[in-house]
């Protein structure tokens, strides 16, 4: 999977959990950031322990995916410092941010050490992405009372985990790319997204950069999603597209 810059963060969407990925390997870091963004999470990424602590202090994550082997301090030291952060630093949450270790350190003593320090789970590399995402949801359910994710705009409902979409109660069948595009628009409902933002977040750098592909897939979505009234997908001339609830 190609590396990419993070997608724009949705504003005011409580159904998107904020994850912090900490890994010094660029390939792994970008793979996780991209895959977790597609899975419906809002993702920041750090390459060092200090960068992770700074990001956590600036914006409290709902969960941290933490490598053990980092260039400036190991993951065990990161979780010690994270747990020691005063509540005023971690946006009122204190040191209870859940941590899932994702590391090549697979010795039993390392696992036990990580869990004793307050880690909520420990996954060794190489990992299966689907299993990792399932473990993330399990930790969120245990620690934050996560509910099944379902995003709605008017009578349109989208379930990121199952890739199930309905409009007015009827199932809408979408291709994987159509689903990613719709998910991106719905997660940013009421916000006009430029073609460049859509291209970067839905196609990343796997595509050549021709923004006309956005127009093509928007037309595909309209045929499937906006077959009934009222229309939800709107063109903002010379800017991009927005999905929004019907207005009086």
Residues 179, 175: Cα–Cα separation, whole Å: 6
| C-beta separation of 183 from 192 below 8 A | no
Question: 93 vs 22, 55, 87, 89, 90, CA distance in Å?
Answer: 20, 14, 6, 9, 6
Q: How many other CB atoms sit within 10 Å of the CB of residue 194?
A: 16
Pairing of strands 233-236, 170-171: unpaired
pLDDT value at position 149? 66
pLDDT value at position 248? 66
Residues 198, 240: Cα–Cα separation, whole Å: 9
| C-beta separation of 45 from 80 below 8 A | no
Contacts of 228 (CB under 8 A, 6+ apart): 167, 168
Per-residue pLDDT of 54-77, as tens digits, reads: 999 888 899 999 999 999 999 999
Given a cut of 90, is residue 102 above it in pLDDT?
A: yes
Per-residue pLDDT of 10-20, as tens digits, reads: 333 335 789 99
- Give the mean model confidence (pLDDT) for residues 119-142: 86
Per-residue pLDDT of 22-39, as tens digits, reads: 999 999 999 999 989 888
Which one, of 104, 133, 126, lies nearest residue 38 by Cα?
A: 133
Q: Residue 1's pLDDT band (boundaries 50, 70, 90)? A: very low
pLDDT value at position 43? 94
pLDDT value at position 159? 86
| pTM tops 0.75, yes or no | no
């Amino acid at each position: 999977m190609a590396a990419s810059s993070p997608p724009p963060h949705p504003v005011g969407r409580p159904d998107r959990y904020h994850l912090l990925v900490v890994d010094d390997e660029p390939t792994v870091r970008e793979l996780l950031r991209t895959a977790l963004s597609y899975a419906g999470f809002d993702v920041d990424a750090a390459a060092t322990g200090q960068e992770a602590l700074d990001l956590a202090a600036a914006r409290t994550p709902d969960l941290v995916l933490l490598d053990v082997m980092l260039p400036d301090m190991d993951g065990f030291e990161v979780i010690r410092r994270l747990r020691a952060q005063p509540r005023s630093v971690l946006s009122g949450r204190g040191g209870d941010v859940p941590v899932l270790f994702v590391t090549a350190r697979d010795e039993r003593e390392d696992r036990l050490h990580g869990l004793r320090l307050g880690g909520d789970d420990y996954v060794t590399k190489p990992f299966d992405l689907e299993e990792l995402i399932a473990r993330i949801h399990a930790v969120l359910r245990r620690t934050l009372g996560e509910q099944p994710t379902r995003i709605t705009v008017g009578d349109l409902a989208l379930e990121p985990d199952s890739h199930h979409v309905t409009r007015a109660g009827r199932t809408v069948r979408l291709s994987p790319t159509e689903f990613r595009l719709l998910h991106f628009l719905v997660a940013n409902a009421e916000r006009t997204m430029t073609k460049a933002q859509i291209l970067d977040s839905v196609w990343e750098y796997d595509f050549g950069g021709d923004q006309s592909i956005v127009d093509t897939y928007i037309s595909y979505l309209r045929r499937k999603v906006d077959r009934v009234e009222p229309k939800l997908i709107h063109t903002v001339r010379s800017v991009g597209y927005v999905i929004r609830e019907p207005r009086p």
